[in-house]
Amino acid sequence: MSYKTQMEAARKGIVTPQMKAVAEKENMSLDTLVERMAKGTIIIPANKNHTSLKPEGVGEGLKTKINVNLGISKDCNNFDVEMEKVNKAIEMNVEAIMDLSSFGKTREFRTELIKKSTAMIGTVPIYDAVGFYDKELKDITVEEFIKVVRTHAEDGVDFMTIHAGINKETAKRFKKNQRITNIVSRGGSLLYAWMELNDKENPFYEYYDELLDICREYDVTLSLGDACRPGSIADSTDASQVEELIVLGELTKRAWEKDVQVMVEGPGHMAINEIEANMILEKRLCHGAPFYVLGPIVTDVAPGYDHITSAIGGAIAASSGADFLCYVTPAEHLRLPNIDDMKEGIIASKIAAHAGDIAKGIPNARDWDNNMSRARQSLNWEKMFELAIDSEKPRRYRAESMPEDEDTCTMCGKMCSMRNMNKVMEGKDINILRD
């Protein structure tokens, strides 16, 4: 039997090489994986033209995945610097990279990225449209928007953020309900502006079936973008956000009718006490489709530290059902992140994802922590460094402040609880004040 998409294969009972790789990696039975893919609660974004990909699954019962954003902008358009970030992200084993390039040689960068990346690649085609055609936003035609989507699909993009939920009805709801930060999604704001300037329906909503045909042809996963995601905690869980989420749920079902894989994007900025309810709401309204969240960022007052505010929200979101976290760096809201910012964002997101996996009961998630605890108990410093999410920083900290007694650290010295309990339980003297 033949198939066009991973979802179609699952519905026909065909086990693809990508499914086998994910099942083995995730310690999930193939029967369970195939069943959930057929329902749409697990996806494997894998464009048929992305030949260097090491496939990853996203969704129900799988480890929480993380995404890294990078790409060329008008103010920072150094191809080599962005490719250095790509290399670092792959070295740090991120599962996904989104190319958000919006200026210059976007296709050259994108094709090189897809050629070398083992991680799945995502894009937001509307970012590319203005530069691709060298036209003002208002003058881009519906056909040109669709053509950019096809170009990205042909190039091998595994998933695309498409803001199809901000239709005329959603826009009416937005206008009736004032927000502090209006529409903060870059792609969403561009589409809203195009709709207003041309007095037309969102082209991605109006021509959604044509979009699905492209996704089906290349097996592109549709990442339904949240144009109305909150950009401040004051705007979270409001009428605009919920109205759009209802539309995204309807669009999810239409995509599944054509065997197109879907994930749904979510907030955004949000107070801690709203996160769990939002995860439940998305899963309910979007029929269990995987949920891809930015943050959520739990307070608005920490510019320069938003990797921390995001990791707090991301851990809660993941523990409450989010499947995919978009990293946030210390540079969020301030500038294009440099490679050090990117590394901090990756590590913060990895911590959040793993903390969520422990709470969700993902198989073997706790084993990692238990192995670290055993290494600490035995004062096996090398093993601790090997097990750390980031081995470089703890090695450096240790080397910068070596204790007199190698079994200890300079915080506690010979008063180290691990050292002394080990000795006492072996029947030895602990010798705190003498050699």
- Binding-site residues for Zn(2+), please? 269, 333
User: Distance (Å, rounded) from C-alpha 190 to C-alpha 81?
Assistant: 27
Sequence-ordered strand ranges (E) for 230-358:
262-266, 291-294, 324-326
Cis omega (within 30 of 0) on the bond before 296?
A: yes
Q: Which residues are annotated as a binding site?
A: 69, 98, 127, 163, 185-187, 226-229, 265, 269, 292, 333, 409, 412, 416
In degrees and rounded to multiples of 5, residue 4 shows phi and psi of -95, -40
What Cα–Cα distance (Å) separates residue 90 from each residue in 70, 117, 239, 355? 12, 7, 39, 22
Q: Which residues are annotated as a binding site for [4Fe-4S] cluster?
A: 409, 412, 416
The candidate with the shortest Cα–Cα distance to 118, out of 158, 70, 164, is 158
User: Distance (Å, rounded) from C-alpha 388 to C-alpha 129?
Assistant: 41
Strand partners for 182: none
**Rama region for 339: left / alpha / beta (φ>0; ψ in -120 to 50; rest):** alpha
User: Distance (Å, rounded) from C-alpha 19 to C-alpha 306?
Assistant: 35
Q: Which residues are annotated as a binding site for substrate?
A: 69, 98, 127, 163, 185-187, 226-229, 265, 292
For 169, half-sphere exposure in the C-beta direction (CA atoms, 13 angstrom radius) is: 11
What Cα–Cα distance (Å) separates residue 401 from each residue in 90, 132, 405, 432? 31, 53, 12, 20
Cα dihedral 99/194/246/206 (nearest 10): -100
**Which amino acid, one-letter code, is at 134?**
D
Retrieve residue 28's tokens: 């999930």
User: Distance (Å, rounded) from C-alpha 321 to C-alpha 130?
Assistant: 36
User: Distance (Å, rounded) from C-alpha 100 to C-alpha 73?
Assistant: 8
